[in-house]
Structure 1
Amino acid sequence: MSPIFYASVILLFVAVVLAMEGAYIWWNSRHGPLARRLESRIRTISAGALASSERLSILKQRQLGDATPLERALKLLPRVQGIDRFLQQAGMQWSVAGLVTTCAVIPPLVFSLAMFSSAPLPVIAMLALLSASLPVLYVRRRRAKRLRQLERQLPEACDMLARALRAGHAFSLAIDMVGTEFAEPMGGEFRTTFDEINYGVSLNEALANLAKRVPIRDLRYFVIAVLIQRETGGNLAEVLDGITALIRERFKLFDKVRVLSAEGRLSAWVLGLLPFIVGTLMLFLNPGFLEVLWKDPMGLKMTVAALSSMAAGVLWMSRVVALRV
């Protein structure tokens, strides 16, 4: 074969390799770990910042530069920033438009799948409507789990801040040390606070933003203590030690209360889910047995009364076992 053929093969191979490398670089710049981390920190600052309106407007314009029409329409709705902050507190990469789209797509899918069963149409429609709340419940569960992690990590973070202050570091540098060396999700929140300070936000304002992004009572105590100390003076390391001891004692009492109320919480779950599980099994095993509940007028009244009583009972039991320490 001629040398031109071998040269063409080599050049084609080099072109394919360069194309693959270019595609990887493009994907990594848009969807890689560094890009996701940068986007998450920008969205976190946008969701919880209390900075000036001019700075926030510039950030929002950059964030909405390539937004879809649905996202632009949602931004016009009131309190949409609170929903975005809710998603950020859950530690999720979902946008408000993604959450709304998911809530709108699930009910038709559930309705289509439930049509293959022998359940009555009103029951199918009710289940389809209720399924729209599943993404919101999932986000709420993720948010509660992340806030519990933040609450558990707070004493160790205060200890690290106190050690850094005793070593002679400035408070802003101590925040940077916590953000760099501490595990997620607490490390990410302190990194965001340190970034705000570097961007020109005052320390008091950055701490207030931290308290707004992370709605934890103990963290608010920490922020209030730091702000008071900056106004009045004093040994901040000793103040942080006192806050850490108070938080840990409260955790001990809270764990003891959880153990004492475990039986009541388990009873609430069993009594709340058992009727629906048994009814679903009976609906698939013997569909005609439960038809009286929606075909007979008295059966409909009994069903409504039973569901109302169960809702009232679950609400009452949840209030009984929900003890705050």
Structure 2
Amino acid sequence: MFVVFGFLAVVLLLEGLFMLWTDTRSLEVKRIQRRLRVMAIGDHGEVDISLLKQRMLSTTPTIQRLLLQLPKVQHLDRLLLQSGSSNTVAHLLTVCLLAGFGGILFGVVLLWPWQWDVLMGFALAVLPIVRLPWKRARRLRLIGSQLPDALDLISRSMRAGHGFSAALGMVGNEAPEPIASEFKTTFDEINFGISTKNALSNLATRVPITDLRYFVVAVLIQLETGGNLAELLSMLANLIRERFKLFGKIRVLAAEGKLSAYILTALPFCVAGAIQIVNPGYLNVLWTDPLGIRLVMAALGMMVLGGILMWRIIDIRV
């Protein structure tokens, strides 16, 4: 009996742990929690619904109140959302603090000067925040490339007899990520009672790309004036595809200019490094003589100015 009861106890313990994980940590639960967390981003007008939770900056109420006192914290939270991260602002700041402390500790262990310790700690502390704009830009480019297919899906759904909100739900269920989650959030907002205008405005806030704003403006104008929305969205999808083709041609034509900018920017540093390796004392006058320091600063300033000018020349908007 002891063996039987022990076996049953172990089985029930494992079953309880599995149910606990399913109810709190499973992918489906995380997906639902993320959808509920992102629905409050943007402007909901005068709608006040309990299902539209405020996007949490922290899971701890005390830290939540402290973070709300920080300036520009909502911008950081929106950057997290637009980059596709499911972390909170409190989690991000905690990672920054731990990374900064780890950098300082690493410098102390290696017996570096305290200035280098502080520099290392600061660099590692801001690294998680610096990565967010890069992740945001990559995610927005991916959404922009998926938008024409999503518009075609909405257009075909409406031609088949579905309503506009139902077509948004089909995009959320059938389109690839990350555009599916954004349209699914908009579909949920409309189902929860938010007007279509506010829900689409929130979509444009979460995904600030020009092509998506064209879609939002087209739908809002159609809601006011009427017309064939399916045909309008189909034409808009073709227009976006043509813009992508034109932009691709321009990128090919500007590739030579970009390569020249990279080479001209890196060439002085590579030459200086090679000279320093071949003849270590040859460039010492640049670091010891005041005139040499001024010449180096002037050269760096001209390089920065030239890089900005070349970047502006090849930055062509379509």
The answer for the alignment partner of 1:239 in structure 2 is 232
- TM-superposed CA distance for 1:146, in Å, is 0.8
**Separation in 2, partners of 1:131, 1:270:** 28
1:192-203 correspondence to structure 2 within 5 Å: 192-203=185-196
One-letter amino acid of the structure 2 residue matched with residue 233 of structure 1 = G
SS of equivalent to 2:183: helix
CA distance in structure 2 between the aligned counterparts of 1:283 and 1:18, rounded to whole angstroms? 70
Provide Cα deviations, 1:4-33, integer angstroms capped at 9, x if missing partner.
xxx112211221221122122222322210
- Which residue is 2:135 aligned to? 142
Q: Is the 8 A contact 1:193 1:210 kept in 2?
A: yes
Judge which range, 118-127 or 96-105, deviates more. 118-127
Deviation at 1:96, TM superposition (A): 0.9
Deviation at 1:226, TM superposition (A): 0.7
Instruction: Decide whether the 8 Å contact of 1:272 with 1:310 is kept in 2.
Output: yes
Q: Which amino acid aligns with 1:35?
A: V
- Return the match for 1:95 from 88, 92, 100: 88
1:191 counterpart residue number: 184
Matches within 5 A, 1:52-63: 52=46, 54-55=48-49, 59-60=53-54, 63=56
Residue of structure 1 in register with 2:15 after alignment: 21
Taking a change above 3 Å as real, the CA distance of residues 58 and 151 of structure 1, as seen in their structure-2 partners, is closer
Deviations 1:196-230 (A, max 9, x none): 01111111211111111110111111111111111
| 1:226 partner amino acid | V
Q: For residues 203 and 19 of structure 1, do their structure 2 counterparts lie closer, same or farther at Cα, with a shift above 3 Å needed?
A: same
Structure 1 Cα separation of the partners of residues 291 and 118 of structure 2: 21
> Which residue pairs with 1:171 in the alignment?
164
Instruction: Give the Cα–Cα distance (whole angstroms) in 1 for the partners of residues 60 and 96 of structure 2.
Output: 20
Identify if the C-alpha distance between structure 1 residues 250 and 195 changes in structure 2 by more than 3 Å, giving closer, same or farther.
same
Measured in 2, the distance between the counterparts of 1:287 and 1:9 equals 78
Task: Report what 2:215 is aligned to.
Answer: 222
Q: How many residues align?
A: 318
**Equivalent of 2:258, from 259, 262, 265?**
265
Which residue number corresponds to residue 36 of structure 1? 30
How far did 1:261 drift?
1.4
- Kept in 2: contact 1:158–1:240 (CA 8 A): yes
Paired with 1:68 and 1:285, the residues of 2 have a C-alpha distance of 61
Shift of 1:75: 2.0
Give, in whole Å, the separation in 2 of the partners of 1:120 and 1:274: 31
TM-superposed CA distance for 1:103, in Å, is 2.6
Aligned-partner Cα distance in 2 for 1:280–1:103: 33
1:206 corresponds in structure 2 to 199
Percent identity, please.
44
CA contact (8 A) 1:47 1:82 kept: no
Question: How many angstroms apart in 1 are the aligned matches of 2:72 and 2:131?
Answer: 20
Amino acid in structure 1 at the alignment position of 2:53: L
Shift of 1:86: 1.2
Q: Which amino acid aligns with 2:106?
A: L
The residue type equivalent to 2:206 in the other structure is: R
Give the one of 41, 46, 52 matched to 1:47: 41
Q: 1:280 to 1:215 in 2, by over 3 A?
A: farther
> Could you tell me which of 65, 71, 82 is aligned with 1:72?
65
Q: Which runs of 5+ in 1 are unaligned?
A: 1-6
Paired residue type of 2:182: E
The answer to whether the 8 Å contact 2:40/2:52 transfers is: no
Deviation readout 1:264-297 (Å, 9 max, x if unpaired): 3334445556777898999999999999877876
TM superposition shift of 1:56: 7.8
What one-letter code is carried by the residue in structure 2 that aligns with 1:52?
E
> Given the alignment, which residue of 243, 248, 272 partners 1:250?
243
Please give the alpha-carbon distance, in whole angstroms, between the structure 1 residues aligned to 2:208 and 2:48: 25
What TM-score, normalized by structure 1, do the two folds share? 0.83
1:35-60 deviations in Å (ceiling 9; x for gaps): 21012112211223534374489723
Unmatched 5+ stretches in structure 2: none
Q: Which deviates the most, 26-35 or 268-277?
A: 268-277
CA contact (8 A) 1:294 1:300 kept: yes
Name the SS of the counterpart of 1:266 in structure 2: helix
What aligned pairs does 1:310-321 form with structure 2 within 5 A after superposition?
310-321=303-314
1:130 shift after superposition: 3.6
* 3-state SS in 1 of match to 2:234: helix
- In the TM superposition, residue 99 of structure 1 has moved relative to its aligned partner by 1.9
